Structure 1
Amino acid sequence: MTSPFQVFVAALPDVCPSDPCRMVFTADSGGRCEVFAWDAAARRARQVTDRPGGTVHRAIDADGCVWWFEEDASGRGRWWFQPFDGGPRLPGLPGAPAGQPRGLAVTADGTVAAAVDRGPGTVVLVGRRGRVPHEVLRVPGGCRLGGITPDGALIALASSADDAAAVTVVARDGRTAAVLPGPGGPGSRLWCQGFSPRPGSRELLLVRDLGDRYAPATWTPEDGLRAHDWCAFDTEVSARWYPDARRVLVRQDRHGRSLLHRVDLGTRSREAVPTPPGSVLDAAPRPGGAVDYLWTDTAHAPVLRATDGIALPPPGPRAVVPGRHTELWTPTSSGRVHTLLSLPDTSGAAPPPAVFLVHGGPADHDRDAYDATVHSLVASGYAVVRVNYRGSTGYGPRWRRAFPAGVGHTQVADLAAVRADLVARGLVAGEACALWGVSWGAYLVLLALGTRPGLWRAGIAVKPVADWVAAHRATTPALRALDARLFGGTPDQVPERYAGSSPLTYAAAVTAPLLVVGATRDAKCPPGQIRTYLAALAAADVPFEALWLDTGHDGYDGAAHVAVLRRSLRFLRTRLPEPAPRAPSRPPAPAGGPRPR
């Protein structure tokens, strides 16, 4: 029987370090995300997990054992494993405390390191597969496992790139070997990318913020932190070691698309790895220089590709999005704002109603990549507008740091500027523009409806921040720290900034009907502050609908996603004019924006 819906997780398969034909990946199973083992030699897949809430965190070690994290609805759980060809499921680290997964690494000799979020802090564990681990250390706040050396002697822990202790390297006995970057000025932000897997190496790969560019950096116990500023990029990058050489694969996010670069740290050379135009959602090098990557663009669902032709797991549905997909740049006094625009294939003279899909983050961006919501909206006759407002990644450090009008208000100004530009060009109907966002994007939807009510006909906010103060007090420690960086302090220190950016402050000014979706187990955008906002809407007689999901902030069960999508499409049908047929027209040419190099 065919599943009525499918889920897709945008990630490459993990490859067994000792046998490149053995892989583990996530894919759809009955509408849930589950873990599968893939034998490339036999071109055969085997389903490993089958859980009511789905499974997403997985790994494979050098012995071919498949690991996965079993979590409850709150995201707390433990690691399990099973031999590659099947057999009993066994606890990966018996006796380990339950918590939220913050990383797993297994060396070639079977040493296992894991980080588990325990609420007020993170516990780091080291042991052997199937044996009781020992606790290396317990650190306050949130962090993730950044890697372990091949000999298991050193472990990297990654915190926020903004912290003076962005990366901490510890020995297996818990002693601190290094704190990176340490106290510093501009350009000291670091992102941990992992230890080199080459036997005998203790070299840690990082990405460094140079203030106006990004570049790889490395650390070793002997040489300390070493910058490679000769290899700088003008927009955000991530990097991975090649498993058998002192080379790294750099994936660059640039203007909504992706570029791959092969960088040799020894010879100080860099070359492009050819990929089609679009987005590379993930990329990983294999021994011998081959690269696996996950490619997509707006019109085509993601596909797995390998530069050497090895058999990768079969793709999901080969969806092709109808319509015309283009981009434009809107000039503003603060710089050009980049937009990805999808126009429906319809006939008639009238511009179509438009839905602005507002991305989350804020440190993220909309990509020239397949999105099932875009597919559904365009197929329904709506234009879809995805704006990479100030604060988005992919446009350089200065764009990412630009919040001149304050948190949220800067982004709402960019959304309004793009709307005005599209209406002036005759590309969308000015009287029929709606907003739809998730998480931080949902927060911007609520703020835009309250501060610029005349511009928007309807809004959909899925798991939003609606009351900054209440959300700050009830959310996770990591998000409280992010709030403090965004606002320059806590609600007690700068209450006026939180109030000025909170949708609750402007709830009574909302005029457009709203669909608000909340999750009862959401730790990131807690349900209590959403209920407070809905009560304020009701008190002001603002028309709204509410949908509650019995999930956390993130979910791996496609049924919840489909329920939100269906309810949202019905809501738009009743709140926006029916999409009118229109004659096919040439999409706008890119207007003066820079092109990827």
Structure 2
Amino acid sequence: MSRTFRLYYPVLPTIAEQTPHRAVYVGEAEDRCQIFAWNRRTGTTRQLTARRAGTTRAALDPAGETVWWFDDDLAGTGRWQLVDFAGFTGPRLALPETASGRPAGLAMAADGTAVIGLTGERGLTLHVRHPDGSHRVARSLDDYAYVVDVDAAGQLIVVGADPAGADAVTVYTADGEQSAVLAGGQDRRVWALGFAPGTSRLLLVVEADGDYRLATWTPGDGLRHHDAHRFPTEITACWYPDGEHVLVRQDRHAESRLYRVSLATADQAPIAVPTGSVLDAAVWPDGDVAYVWTDAATPPQLCSTGGMALPAEDGAGPRTGAAPAARRRDIWVPGPGGDIHALVTTPADRTGPAPAVFLVHGGPSEHARNAYDPVVDLLVHTGCAVVRVNYRGSSGYGAAWRSDFPAGVGHTQLEDLAAVRQRLVDDGVVLADRTALWGHSWGGYLTLLAVGVQPDLWRLGIAVTPIADYIAAFHGSSPAVRALDRKLFGGTPDDVPERYLRASPVTYVDQVRAPVFLAVATDDVRCPPEPVEQYAALLTRRSVPNRLLRLHAGHEDVDARNHVALMQAVLPFMQRHFDGVRDEGTPIALALARPAG
């Protein structure tokens, strides 16, 4: 029986503010993400893009007349294209006289005036495009930043940067003059979220005293804190159409909660959603709360409080493969920095200790969720227990947990992984000599660091688009990633070289004994492939079993066939080097789909 391994792009459709029956969404065509127009009134859809690399970035002007989509290469560099929603004209360049760049936000005023953020090696450039097609550069910044929003009148532009920086949020006039600066700090981070419909009232989240609070800013009154609405763990929020209420999405302990909040009062009403994770949520112009929901057993579902009608799943095929029965439970384990939360999934048909794969999330400030993950399903099918640890640095557990790195970058997280591993060994859940690590991006980095720093604990490492040499990766990565690294390490490799060296897996390559599977993406600008290839060569020189798989892709790969190739390469490697993995000769089929209805 073929095993269907599906990918999901869990982002809500974008609705036109002035014509809510028109929308665009990311759907599937020939195993790739593409952009589709959706007329909610007639129930019809139309495919707008057919790019070989797939397309995931799109927007719709407020009138619902023009669709924007980003035509990028695998490294993420490209240009915005325009196409009529109704299909009367084909793609045309939005900024024909502007060079390619990386997208850093797109926002539109009520009349369709667009503010476009593009980044290059020197920082952010703000472009303003008017409905008649005329265009000008409003401002250029030297550092990495991104466009948050423009007010309905097109007079105020909000730019976000490092939320802990002195220029966490900056408001510019339409001419590019600085109007206001909202500063953050190490214990007071600030995020801007967007203007209320039809106004210049800006919604923000402020971290203060370990809580996350709502705040607003207006040109006349400045910053106002709404202290009645505070949350102990991370939140994001968006406006209701009335401009007085806010939809809050809270991440807490691997699950999500939604609230309808009144900024004028202390009223805070929970919105009933099933137990699990809300991956995206918004209030649409007609007041309907739309959200993407999932749990460990259910692929992402597009839901709403108003029971919206959904576009047809033309040719999408089956939603899931035949999943084996599994047991899932949460555990809390005492660790060096406090109790560590982990999600443990074990095969229902297996008794006694099992081989275990620690599926390490990336970020570092993401988190493992009570959410459907096809890799978990696949690994349980092979007879392995799957452990997902929300180590220090993970979101959903409060500001103190997210910023706690006392042992240094990477090493703090390894302490927590080791503590959870030991607890599960002591409890007879996993086999002490059969524990492996599997991670993507920063999770892949932790995998490589662990097999070098903790060689006695881990018997196999699978690292997909990882960081192998932090110094080399810094110099080869994009401005956005370099900005994150400077924050993480407290400077550049020239400023604090010893911190980068201590955190780099290549520093410990001579201690690695476990077989290592490595996958790199040829056009990855977040985790460049060359240092990983050099790391593989060092393993080969020391006769450590390893395999290097090169995928023609960028860091965020939306080509389903690459994921098939990865799984078809990883599983035989595991079966060869990790005793106890079942091989039932099950072929893997893979498809990609938007959230299901």
The question of a shared fold, defined as TM-score above 0.5 by the shorter chain, is answered with yes
SS at match of 1:230: strand
- Structure 1 residues 493-502 or 139-148, which shifts more? 493-502
1:295 aligned to 2:293? Answer: yes
Contact 1:92 1:129 in 2 (8 A): no
1:280-309 CA distance string (max 9 Å, x none):
000001235320010000111000011011
Q: State the shift of 1:5 in Å.
A: 6.6
Alpha-carbon distance between aligned partners in 1 of 2:132 and 2:430, rounded to the nearest angstrom? 59
Pair 547,404 (structure 1): closer, same or farther in 2 beyond 3 Å: same
Q: State the shift of 1:3 in Å.
A: 13
Q: Which residue is 1:511 aligned to?
A: 513
Contact 2:7 2:374 in 1 (8 A): no
Q: Which residue is 1:12 aligned to?
A: 12
Runs of 4+ aligned structure 1 residues displaced above 4 Å come to 2-6, 314-317
Q: State the shift of 1:327 in Å.
A: 1.1
1:499-533 CA distance string (max 9 Å, x none):
11111110010000000111222111112221232
Alpha-carbon distance between aligned partners in 1 of 2:297 and 2:5, rounded to the nearest angstrom? 19
Contact 2:193 2:205 in 1 (8 A): yes
Q: Which residue is 1:325 aligned to?
A: 328
Q: Which residue is 2:83 aligned to?
A: 82
1:226 aligned to 2:227? Answer: no
Structure 2 matches for 1:435-450, cutoff 5 A?
Answer: 435-450=437-452
Q: Which residue is 2:138 aligned to?
A: 136
Contact 2:20 2:286 in 1 (8 A): no
SS at match of 1:365: coil
Gaps of 5+ in 2: 584-597
SS at match of 2:217: strand
Structure 2 matches for 1:107-506, cutoff 5 A?
Answer: 107-129=109-131, 131-181=133-183, 187-197=187-197, 199=198, 201-313=199-311, 317-319=318-320, 321-322=323-324, 323-347=326-350, 349-506=351-508
Alpha-carbon distance between aligned partners in 1 of 2:389 and 2:119, rounded to the nearest angstrom? 33
Query: What amino acid is aligned across from residue 192 of structure 2 in structure 1?
Result: C
Alpha-carbon distance between aligned partners in 1 of 2:560 and 2:182, rounded to the nearest angstrom? 40
Pair 211,567 (structure 1): closer, same or farther in 2 beyond 3 Å: farther
Contact 1:94 1:133 in 2 (8 A): no
Higher relative contact order (CA 8 A, sep 6+): 2
Q: State the shift of 1:383 in Å.
A: 1.3
Contact 1:244 1:287 in 2 (8 A): no
- Structure 1 residues 446-455 or 282-291, which shifts more? 282-291
Q: Which residue is 1:55 aligned to?
A: 55
TM-score when normalising by structure 1? 0.93
TM-score when normalising by structure 2? 0.93
Q: State the shift of 1:37 in Å.
A: 1.3
SS at match of 1:565: helix
1:187-221 CA distance string (max 9 Å, x none):
43111101112x2x101111111131101111111
Query: What amino acid is aligned across from residue 256 of structure 1 in structure 2?
Result: A
- Structure 1 residues 393-402 or 559-568, which shifts more? 559-568
User: What's the RMSD between the two structures over aligned residues?
Assistant: 1.9
Q: Which residue is 1:595 aligned to?
A: none
Query: What amino acid is aligned across from residue 294 of structure 2 in structure 1?
Result: T
Alpha-carbon distance between aligned partners in 2 of 1:314 and 1:11, rounded to the nearest angstrom? 17
1:210-241 CA distance string (max 9 Å, x none):
13110111111101111112211000000111
Q: State the shift of 1:580 in Å.
A: 6.6
Pair 577,400 (structure 1): closer, same or farther in 2 beyond 3 Å: same
Q: Which residue is 2:21 aligned to?
A: 21
Alpha-carbon distance between aligned partners in 1 of 2:131 and 2:547, rounded to the nearest angstrom? 49
Contact 2:156 2:174 in 1 (8 A): yes
SS at match of 1:394: coil
SS at match of 2:153: coil
Query: What amino acid is aligned across from residue 415 of structure 1 in structure 2?
Result: L
Q: Which residue is 1:544 aligned to?
A: 546
Alpha-carbon distance between aligned partners in 2 of 1:189 and 1:121, rounded to the nearest angstrom? 21
1:58-80 CA distance string (max 9 Å, x none):
11112212221111122111112
Contact 1:94 1:130 in 2 (8 A): no
SS at match of 2:170: strand
- Structure 1 residues 531-540 or 512-521, which shifts more? 531-540
Pair 580,26 (structure 1): closer, same or farther in 2 beyond 3 Å: closer
Q: State the shift of 1:550 in Å.
A: 2.1
Query: What amino acid is aligned across from residue 241 of structure 2 in structure 1?
Result: P
